[in-house]
Amino acid sequence: MLAHGFGCDQNMWRLVVPALERDFTVVLFDHVGAGNSDLSAWSPDRYSTLDGYVEDVLELCRELALGPVTFVGHSVSAMMGVVAAVREPEAFAGLVLLAPSPRFVDDPETGYRGGFDAEDIDELLGSLDANYLGWSGAMAPVIMGNPERPELGEELTNSFCRTDPDIARVFARVTFLSDNREDLALVKVPTLVAQCASDAIAPREVGEFVHARIPGSRLVTLDATGHCPQLAAPEETTAAITSFVEALA
């Protein structure tokens, strides 16, 4: 089960899905509020904490009844996997945490370094406001005006990376203000932490922190720059997921 992070939708996985599908049953979904999800199902109450998303993941597991799944969560979705696996460990065979961060904001009291100070996060939320017009208007023609790639159908071009600004703002708050450090030690299912070699959003020491806190977890560092290894290094990402799942069996 592949869960996309903040920004964009399940298309984030498109470079790894073909290879994964050869060996596994792959479940893809858009979080409520993103991509082609039913926007009317979104409410600020349910989705202003990670809990709403975690419940969705657990509901998905129950509904599909596939037995214990390997949950691959990118970015903020990695922590959804952590919380879900703490809550219902029997639903998960394993967790792959891709570019995870249990807390993006530094915590001077404990010396934890998440990579951002509070001011940075304020600026981020400000930039979401600044893109309010950009997201609702300017992005649309950009995404649709793509004559060389007709395979990007209308449906896809309208939705990919295009989020309702109000929803994006709430999701950004959830993503960048959550603190799940305490949950890490409670994870009882086999876990792979896959971090990028150079990631401006989840630096290596954050990946190492996650690895150190989750009992028995493995850590791999993917030779990828940026926060999206499934796009920057799809083969290596696929290989890491595949070998982890095969070792579980």
Partner 1 sequence: MGTSGDEENGVAGLGRPGGTGQVAGGWGNGDLGSSDDRAQFSALLEDSVEDLYEHAPCGYLSTLLDGRIAKVNTTLLDWLGYERDDLLGRRHFSDLLTVGGRLYHETHFAPLLGMQGEVSGIALELKAADGSRLPVLVTSTVRTGRDGRPLLIRTTLFDARDRRAYETELLRARKEAERERERLQRLAATLQKTLLPPTLANVPGLDVSAYYHIASVDEVGGDFYDLFPLAEGTWGLFLGDVCGKGAAAAAVTSLTRYTLRAAAVYNPDPDAVLRNLNTVLNHEYNGADPRFCTVIFGLLTPDPDRGGFHITLASGGHPPALLMRADGTTDYLPTPGGQLIGVLADAHIATTAVRLAPGDTLLLHTDGLTEAHVNAVDGVDRYGDDALLDFARTLAPTTASATVDAIRDLLDTFGSGVDDDTAVLAIHVPRPPSEELQ
The binding site for partner 1 (CB under 8 A) comprises 5-8, 11-12, 14, 75, 116, 120-121, 123-134, 138-139, 142-143, 146, 148-149, 152, 160-161, 176, 198, 200-201, 225-228, 231-232
199 is catalytic: yes
Selecting among 37, 75, 77, 159, the annotated active-site residue is 75
211 is catalytic: no
Minimum gap (Å) between residue 203 Cβ and partner 1: 12
Q: Which is nearer to partner 1, 42 or 176 (CB)?
A: 176
Which run of H or E residues covers position 52? Answer: helix 50-64
Minimum gap (Å) between residue 131 Cβ and partner 1: 6
Selecting among 74, 178, 199, 217, the annotated active-site residue is 199
Q: Report residue 44 CA to chain centroid gap.
A: 19
Tell which residue, 58, 15, 11, 17, has the closest CA to residue 37.
Answer: 11
Minimum gap (Å) between residue 157 Cβ and partner 1: 9
Sheet holding 28-29, edge to edge: 28-29, 2-3, 69-74, 92-98, 191-198, 218-225
Facing residues of 222 across strands? 196
Identify whether the C-beta of residue 76 lies closer than 8 Å to the C-beta of residue 6.
yes
77 is catalytic: no
How many CA within 13 A on the CB side of residue 146? 15
Q: Which is nearer to partner 1, 111 or 147 (CB)?
A: 147
Minimum gap (Å) between residue 163 Cβ and partner 1: 9
Query: Tokens 């657990």 sit at which residue?
Result: 58
Q: Which residues form the catalytic set?
A: 75, 199, 227
